[in-house]
Amino acid sequence: MSFFSSPILRCTRLAAAAALAILGVAAGLGAAPALAQSWPARPIKMIAPYPPGGGVDTVSRLFAERLSARLGQPVTVENMPGAGATIGAAALAKSAPDGYTLMMGSVVDYSIAPHVHKNLSFDMRRDFVPIVEVANGTVVLVVNADFPPKTVAELIALAKSKPGQFSFASSGIGGLQHLNAEMFKQMAGVDLVHVPYKGTAQFLPDLLAGRVPMSIDSLPAHLPHIRAGKLRVLAVASRARAPMLPDVPTMSEAGLTGYESATNYTLFAPAGTPREAIDRVNRETNAVLQTAEVRDRLLALGIVTAGSTVEAATAKAGAEMTKWAGVIKAAQIKFD
């Protein structure tokens, strides 16, 4: 019997093979954590495509601070305002897809932008990865306190009885307030006159004085006047009732089934960013959203936390693009 075919050798060879297999498994197990820990290895930039002090800036800084603690690297906010948030978005699209540049933007902004701004250098579907839907600001149908309708149904009935005699205020052609009202007109079958301003701060005096009776706008700027009894909310545009206005019905509850709008906060990365980084940011952001402190701080601003998978955030972006394109087409809005 040769040495190579002996039972002792066979046992020895089997033991050696088993040992190598165990080492291989151990090496494989060791490789996974090493891969998972390879990002982030340096500071991360979060673009806020609006000026300091606004809602997007506030939410960006709140999450940058908490993501920094969870990721073990500084997350710094860089404001890049202008052109309806498209300057910051263009900068994101041009950034290296390495996980070190993120942006707190809005799927609504970038759904509307292609219709408002000609020759954009980016496309949300092509150039962005929606990482996670962070939160949604509450949108309300608000009217002057002396305006007769007390419900959405009464408003629709009044508007139908006097077509073209009532107006709504917005922050300008193509803005979310404008399109909110256009969607309302289309779904309710009413004729309302658009009165564009440069922003909410500019039209608030006329709304409070009753010179323009209504707007469908974000809640925060109107909340003090609602509490003071100078304005009245007929409905919220969210899918569910707003925690800060629990007695106010949703648009769907008020009769406009399917009407939904919000000022959206979504975290984006450039297309091509490694899935490892995308998943880590998604996981950590969702964890931050579960904390009572963050939920309460945002709720005080009229912002309701969301949270989502990457796939759900991507689906939401696609749905918003389709919805607002339809509203703009049906309204035959012309942009300069």
**Dihedral (Cα; 281, 283, 286, 291), 10-degree rounding:** -100
Paired strand residues for 44: 75
Q: Are residues 84 and 128 in the same domain?
A: yes
Q: Are residues 127 and 267 in the same domain?
A: yes
In a domain, 101, yes or no: yes
In a domain, 187, yes or no: yes
* Model confidence, pTM: 0.83
Range of the structural domain that residue 183 is part of:
139-236
Q: Are residues 192 and 160 in the same domain?
A: yes
In a domain, 6, yes or no: no
In a domain, 190, yes or no: yes
Q: Are residues 60 and 117 in the same domain?
A: yes
Q: What backbone phi and psi angles, to 5 degrees, belong to 158?
A: -65, -45
Q: Are residues 73 and 130 in the same domain?
A: yes
Q: Which residues, in sequence order, are CB contacts of 275 under 8 Å at separation 6+?
A: none
* Residue 11, pLDDT score: 39
Residue 238 DSSP SS3: coil
C-alpha separations of 276 from 28, 175, 213, 243, 282 in Å = 17, 35, 50, 35, 10
CATH number at residue 99: 3.40.190.150
CB 169 within 8 A of CB 177: yes
CATH number at residue 162: 3.40.190.10
Q: Which residues, in sequence order, are CB contacts of 130 under 8 Å at separation 6+?
A: 107, 266, 267, 268, 310, 313, 314, 316, 317
Q: Are residues 130 and 92 in the same domain?
A: yes
CB atoms within 10 A of CB 289: 20
Q: Are residues 89 and 75 in the same domain?
A: yes
DSSP state of 249: P
Q: Which of 144, 179, 222 is nearest to 155 (CA)?
A: 144
In a domain, 257, yes or no: no
Q: Are residues 202 and 220 in the same domain?
A: yes
Q: Are residues 188 and 52 in the same domain?
A: no
* Residue 37, pLDDT score: 55
* Spans of the chain below 70 pLDDT: 1-37, 336
* Residue 17, pLDDT score: 44
* Residue 7, pLDDT score: 43
* Residue 307, pLDDT score: 97
* Residue 336, pLDDT score: 67
Q: Are residues 197 and 145 in the same domain?
A: yes
Residue 147 DSSP SS3: coil
Q: How far apart are CA 305 and CA 133, in angstroms?
A: 9
Q: Are residues 59 and 110 in the same domain?
A: yes
In a domain, 336, yes or no: no
In a domain, 219, yes or no: yes
In a domain, 78, yes or no: yes
Look at the chain and report how many structural domains it folds into: 2
Q: Are residues 129 and 147 in the same domain?
A: no
